[in-house]
């Protein structure tokens, strides 16, 4: 549980201090909103199904990039 709290603190700090992290988070939110609209449709066309898959992939890529920034921020810097 302490790990989740530490991660949340790092995320908040990055949202405040890192333009790159904020940009990634904003794009991730846009993709989430677009995906949510598709999920709530009763029927998806083939094109919408492809869009859904692509949105999921793009969201995952962004999440991975955000996680890399979190990990980089978590690790102490080596001055060797």
> Confidence band (pLDDT; 50, 70, 90) for 75?
confident
Q: What pLDDT does residue 79 have?
A: 46
Q: Is residue 32 a part of any domain in this protein?
A: yes
Task: Please check the confidence at residue 80 and state whether its pLDDT lies above 80.
Answer: no
* Half-sphere exposure for 68 (CA within 13 Å, toward CB): 8
Q: Which residue has the higher pLDDT, 14 or 76?
A: 14
> Rounded to two decimals, what is the model's pTM?
0.82
Q: Total domain count for the chain?
A: 1
Q: From CA 21, how far away is CA 34, in angstroms rounded? A: 20
pLDDT of the residue at 42: 84
Segments forming the whole domain that contains residue 37: 2-72
Q: Confidence band (pLDDT; 50, 70, 90) for 11?
A: very high
Q: Is residue 26 part of a domain?
A: yes
* Residue 61: inside a domain: yes
Domain-located, residue 80: no
């Amino acid at each position: 549980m302490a790990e989740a709290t530490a991660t949340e603190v790092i995320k908040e700090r990055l949202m405040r201090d890192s333009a790159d992290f904020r940009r990634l988070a904003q794009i991730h939110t846009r993709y989430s909103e677009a995906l949510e609209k598709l999920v709530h449709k009763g029927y998806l066309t083939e094109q919408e199904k492809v869009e859904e898959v692509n949105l999921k992939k793009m969201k995952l890529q962004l999440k991975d990039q955000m996680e890399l920034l979190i990990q980089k921020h978590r690790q102490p810097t080596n001055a060797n």
